[in-house]
Structure 1
């Protein structure tokens, strides 16, 4: 499996509009963070987790010419706002795009993108096929996904385990029972928003402590804000098996 981190930034991205901090002014490409998303290439299939506002830019940058499905973690705009751009794949692949998500998430998509689901099928709108999921494992084009239930403050969110890879973003709590689903993963991608505690995201210290408990072979941090600090300064402070993710990073699992 090859995993590409399409975006590793928080909801505002980095740089933040109107901010002149040293991170937002950095010329290091690793400090330029689009909204969080990941591309999985596994068993000949192309699957993306979340389609944020930067979806078009991300798939063009990585030259993702085919897409078999979209899987959503939750309904927040920084994870769904780019949905309209899947229509390019509709045109080139001549098929509707399967969208996997909890019933609550799919209902939110119906409201946010009402024109897709209205009775009047305007020419050129995205063509989608809604596929509701629960907490049970499910298959995406023959690829097995295990949902990992986490909390984003009070909002239930899904992370996912695919083989030896686990991806969790927008979380600040995971139960012991859900941790057991993650244990044994060789690679974990986990959110770490900033240095200070946050109401709905793991801080850097909290993320490191969780990863030290789970003990993957390798781990990468994502959903990073400008408040975490410069990539070149933060990464050397981390345990050897933990690295900061960055946009375009490719991970072999």
Structure 2
């Protein structure tokens, strides 16, 4: 069986996506498909396994576009709506597969229970509501997904602690503003790093382009791909030309093989 891992970028945009509703910004009006970005999410596939990181409001469209028929679980980075608001659309998977495993730190699970209480109800369940199997993720405890040990990586999104994840030689981080040295050690020798690069101007809770480039250099992965991109970063084709040889802008539906 093929042991390679395939990474599919389901969405690479920031919380509003690109184009932004009603915006006449030139990037929002671009006809380049690479300038059209759904909310950030990624699919990681190997052997017979399919795991999704984050489940935002574009989840249904992303599953249809990429013809995903089954998922083995969803890992959440944090509780913000652009990363969680699509959880109701796991219903078709639930109807075929049963309870869908989810993985998140306890704070995120509690947030989901408040916002989507009908999904987590133990009694008097609404007919047709999906259900999940909760797996609480902690900072220093790897999780076994299929036949792979996945390492949580704690980062800071302003003052909010959130998780990225390492799958073998692949590391996925988003909404990062700061990473402690102890967590950077978990990223060492990764072949592919994905990290956020919101815009050129500084932001209180996200890497801007300069910070993302410095972090990519610090980590030293063979290839780095930027995600969680806003229209303010500029046109995909123009920004891509300015990046170092081993650093790229990700775009929706891009696939990598490791």
Match among 107, 111, 115 for residue 114 of structure 2: 111
Give TM-score, length-normalised by structure 1: 0.98
1:21 to 25, 45, 50: 25
1:90 aligns with 2:73: no
Counterpart in 1 of 2:182?
A: 177
Q: Distance in 2 between matches of 1:133 and 1:140?
A: 12
Structure 2 residue corresponding to 1:190, chosen from 195, 212, 228? 195
Residue of 155, 164, 168 corresponding to 1:159? 164
Higher mean displacement: 154-163 or 111-120: 111-120
Please report how far the alpha carbon of residue 141 of structure 1 lies from its aligned counterpart in structure 2 after TM superposition: 2.6
Which residue of the other structure, out of 216, 233, 247, is the alignment partner of 2:238?
233
2: CA distance, partners of 1:103 / 1:120: 24
1:123-176 CA-to-partner distances (Å, cap 9, x unmatched) read 110111111110111112332110111000010010111100000001110011
- Pair 1:33-2:37 in alignment: yes
Are 1:101 and 1:131, in contact at CA under 8 Å, matched by a contact in 2?
A: yes
Structure 1, gaps ≥5 residues long: none
Unaligned runs of 5+ in 2: none
Q: In the TM superposition, what is the alpha-carbon distance from 1:181 to its structure 2 partner?
A: 0.6
Q: Which of 57, 60, 74 lines up with 1:56 in the alignment?
A: 60
Separation (CA, whole Å) in 2 of partners of 1:80 and 1:88 = 17
Q: CA RMSD in A?
A: 0.8
Contact 2:7–2:45 under 8 Å retained in 1: yes
